[in-house]
Structures are given as structure tokens and as C-alpha cells.
Amino acid sequence: MSADALAGLDERQREAATTLRGPVCVLAGAGTGKTRVITHRIAHGVDTGAYTPSRMMAVTFTTKAAGEMRGRLRRLGVVGVHARTFHAAALAQLNFFWPTVAKDTAPAIVDNKVRLLAHAADGLGMRLDTPTLRDVAAQIEWRKITMRSIDAYPAARPQGVPGMDLDALIDLQRAYEKLKDERRQLDFEDVLLACAGMLEAEPRVTAAVREQYRHFTVDEFQDVSPLQFALLRLWLGDRRDLCVVGDASQTIFSFAGADASYLLDFPRRFPDARVVRLETSYRSAPPILDVANGLMQGRPGALRLSAAGSAEPGALPQLTGYPDDAAEARGVAAAVAAQVRAGVDPRTIAVLYRSHAQSAPLLQALAEQQIAATVLGGKRFFDLPEVRQAVLALRGASVAPLPAAGLVASVRDVLRSLGLTDDPPPAGGAVRDAWEARRAILRLAEEAPAETSLRAFTDELRSRAKDQHEPAMRTVTLATLHAAKGLEWDHVHLVGVAEGLLPISYATTAAQVDEERRLAYVGITRSARSLSLSWSHGGAGRAPRAPSRFLQEIGTRTLRAVDAPATSGAASRRARSPRTTERPARPAR
């Protein structure tokens, strides 16, 4: 089966997949197939006998990514690999060893940090609103994942929380920890700290963990925090079977403790490491890669992406300036509507932006065009009330014999009883959202093998819910740049590429602006076939915005500047102000 595990890999991917021993660092640019390399490397190791599945830990950063990895491995014939997040792996070890070490059950996990902080604040006589409490929670998280005590916090993070003086912030952190201890609870970050502490203090536990896990793979290694790296080193001990995969240009969570230096300095920490660079993109058309490369040129760790030989030439990315935010929303919505009318599947279109506040006018403008949209980052698909209702109803119907008409007819009948109609209701409301969710379930039934029973179909729905393997609703996706990471679409509209939005106004240091640049890079590289960027001068009563400095950094001959439909005269000239973007595309490298 090893030939199957290596089938379809290019030369660099094969090099990474066949290097099974010792430290390995895979620098994988956007769209270069890093998840494919990880899973095929594990499968090749299992096929050749180098790895025992139960002794392999593959660490990811989200539950969804872990579920996707398990699914890919199953399709490669590999089961038993522990594909988990750092937190899930640490919690499993705590729950297993705590009764032996502490002679008691493991503490409960705090289900709502903000609510517990509110109780702690009440005990101090503080009256804090929810946004402030969220900021305090973020400071606590940052302090713990950077491995700082409360006493060390003031010197490391003196800006604190807006509206709170530093002493009050420290007092609240102490009260929060005291209340948590009294309730015998651990928060999310405590799970990692407690697991690391247990491994440091209990040699028997450390020996058992290291005996269980012999080989480690860590995805998205640019997002590792100091605490996660410390835990990884404890798991690893003095062994060398570690493979890390990442892209420094996609480090966009520095505010949460992510530190790309662990990726960039990997060869220094492990001098015998094998470093493999994946720079052939199988996602984006050459003109899109030109924009991405121009933006990141000369940045630390930046990879120079080139399109695969089979890539289509692609259209020149487009830049449009608008007189105000409302005009930008209407212009983008009109462009999306034109794509849909031309036959483009709405599921392959995304509108990306820097902050959630930018979504409201876009949703309204899309609804005016009768385009249904879903905002990424809301409720998970399988947590939607109409989806939960549908799954329960389908489960109930599955106890009866499947009618001769088959699975699709049975699922359609159940969903019709819950409100699914043949024609969609108008876009822009909860009724349409519910319709789209039910229609997505029916689409899954239509895509299932003809012989699938209703019971097997509902089992598959439950498995998808567990792995967060959500179906794509037939809607345009709206998402922040942070939420879009790891995803891809054929067509991307990146809005708000203006000073104050991208980079965001509070990015004042060089490091913060670099993070904003990487955010723009992530947005650009989500696109496979077409890319449009837009910006506006702002709204009434606002200081006028300038086009983003990133448009200048992208360089010449990579974007086509166009006039906004409703823009004329001076506004049109201002919309074209980044003159270096008005020339034909340069050849792909």
C-alpha cells in the first residue's frame, strides 16, 4: 500500500512524505498541499512499518482540522492515529492520570470564563460590562499561554485593558484564580499548564506518556505558543521523531500568543533537521500568486509561490475604489450577483473583511440582490435549531423500513414536513437561512450512495457533527480574515483594503502592521480562480481614508484598477490613486 500512499505527490511532497525519521520541518505555502503531505506521510510510515498508528500523535489547532485529518487517514486505510488538538490531548492525559496522581477525580472545566470573571468582579465590588470582561479574559489567556505569572504580568503587558487601571486588573485576575480554585475548576489554558506540570513532577506519568506516543506531527506550527511548545517538548523528551508543518506568512494569531519563531528557528533547535520547502501552489491561479508574492516579498520566512504546471492562466485581479462604504457594499454585491447569474455556484464565492462590523452592510446589499449569504463564525451547522430538529426527525423516521422510492425521497419527505419548500424564500432573513440549512441536508442525501439506508444516513450526520465536518450551504460566504484561514473558494472579494481597516487603525507598531500584512496575504491566497479587492473613502462625518499601504507594496503590474460604477470625477481619480496597480500582469514565476 505504500505506493498508494505516495501516489499523486510531487517531488517535494514525496520528499517530505518519505522522510520518516528524525526531526523534519516542512515549510508549506498556501495551497501547496500540506494536509495531503501530513496524512500521506503518516500512511506511508504505517504501510512501511515505521509507525504504529496507536503510537502516533498528530496535533492540530482545531477540532474540525483534527476530524478532517482522521477522515483523510481513514480513506488511506489508516485508523488508530491520535489526531487531536493540543487541548484535547492534554485533557485526555489529565483525566487518565489525575485519579492516580491526586487520588481524586480531575477538576471540572470552566464552561464560561466571562461569567466566572463577572462573579469574581462582583466579589470585588466591580461593575464591568461584558466587552470589558472579554478583554480581561483575553489578557488572562495571553498571560497563561506565554507562561507568565500574575506577578510577572505588569512588566510584560502594561497596556492592560481599556478603562481599567493595572492594579484593578491584577486584583481581578487574582480573584478569578481564587474563585476557580474554590470551585475546583480549570480553565482552557489551565489544562495545558496542569498537564505540563504533571509531566514535570511525575516521572512515572512522563514515562507512560512517552512510551505511548513515539512519533509526533504538528500542523500549523507557526501558531504554536510558548506553553504549547513547552508541552510538546515534555511529550517528546530526548527523542527526535517530530515533524512540524507551517507557513510563517500565515502567522495571524500573535495576539493570542502564537510565535512563528518556533517554526523559523526549528533548524537551529534541531541542527540535524531535514527542511523541505513546498512552494508549488495547487490552489491559486498565477495572477493571484503574483499579488501574494508581491505583498510578502522580503518578509521573514516568506515562501515564493509558483503555480502548478496544470494551472489555468486566470484573470487579472481587480482593484476598485468607491466613494463610501455603502457604495462599496452595493458594488461588491452587484459583482457577486453577476457571478451567480453567470452560473457560478454561490458556495464557491466568499466576501472577506477585517472586522465583523463590516458584514452588516454587505449582508443587506446581498439581500437586495436576492443573494443568500452565510456569515462564518456564527452557530455551527449541526447546532442550528432547524438542523437539530431535522436530524432528530430523520432518526425517528429511520426505524421504519425504507420506502421503495429510496433515501432521497425519504429525506425530502421528512424535511418537507419541517418546512422545506421547492422554491427558496426571499434572501436576507431567518426563514431563508433555515431553508438553506434543510436544503444542505437534502443535498447530502442526494450525494450519498444509492444503497444507503436512512439509518446509515443519520449515523453519517452524527459522525459529521462530531468531527465538525459541516456541509457547504448553497450560499455566498461572508467571513473575517481570521475565520477564513484554512479555507478556500474559487472566487474571493476582499473588501476594505484601506488605511484604518487593513491595516486596522490600532496596528501602530511594525510588528502589528506585519501581522495585518499576513492577514491580507491569507485573504488573497484563499482564492483559486478570481480575486477582487476594493476600498472606500469612508462615510459621512468620517475622515477620508486612503488606500491601504499594502496595495503599494504589492508592486506594479499585478492588479487592474477599475472605476466603481457609481464613481465619477475626483472620486474616480482618487479610487485609482495607487498608480502602481494599473498595469498588465507580469508573467508568473
Per residue in 111-170, pLDDT (tens digit) is: 899 999 999 999 999 988 888 898 899 899 999 999 999 999 888 876 678 888 888 999
Specify the pTM.
0.83
* Contact in structure between 222 and 193 (CB atoms under 8 Å): no
In sequence order, which residues have a C-beta less than 8 Å from that of residue 472 and are 6 or more positions away?
347, 440
**Annotated binding residue 28:** yes
The residues facing 84 across adjacent strands are 59
Q: Give the chain's mean pLDDT.
A: 87
Q: What are all long-range contacts of 375-381, with beta carbons under 8 Å and residues at least 24 apart?
A: 375/478, 375/479, 376/477, 376/478, 376/479, 376/480, 376/483, 376/484, 376/487, 377/479, 377/480, 377/483, 380/468, 380/470, 381/437, 381/440, 381/470, 381/471, 381/473
In sequence order, which residues have a C-beta less than 8 Å from that of residue 257 and are 6 or more positions away?
141, 142, 145, 146, 225, 226, 227
* Contact in structure between 140 and 113 (CB atoms under 8 Å): yes
- Say how far apart CA 111 and CA 90 lie, in whole Å: 17
The residues facing 85 across adjacent strands are 60
CATH class of the domain whose range is 286-378+475-581: alpha beta
Grid coordinates standing for 430? 431567518
- Say how far apart CA 419 and CA 433 lie, in whole Å: 12
At 6, the pLDDT band (50, 70, 90 cuts) reads confident
How many alpha carbons fall within 13 Å on the CB side of residue 26? 29
**Annotated binding residue 31:** yes
Mean pLDDT of 235-262: 92
**Annotated binding residue 30:** yes
Grid coordinates standing for 242? 517530530
**Annotated binding residue 35:** yes
**Annotated binding residue 32:** yes
Grid coordinates standing for 135? 478583554
pLDDT for residue 571 is more than 60: no
CATH class of the domain whose range is 2-90+192-278: alpha beta
In sequence order, which residues have a C-beta less than 8 Å from that of residue 456 and are 6 or more positions away?
none
Report domain extents, the chain. 2-90+192-278, 111-177, 286-378+475-581, 381-467
pLDDT score recorded for residue 552: 87
User: Quick one: what percent of the chain has pLDDT higher than 70?
Assistant: 91
* Contact in structure between 415 and 390 (CB atoms under 8 Å): yes
Same CATH topology for 2-90+192-278 and 286-378+475-581: the answer is yes
Amino acid at 419: G
- Say how far apart CA 363 and CA 352 lie, in whole Å: 12
pLDDT for residue 587 is more than 90: no
Q: For 48-70, what is each residue's pLDDT tens digit?
A: 999 999 999 999 988 888 988 99
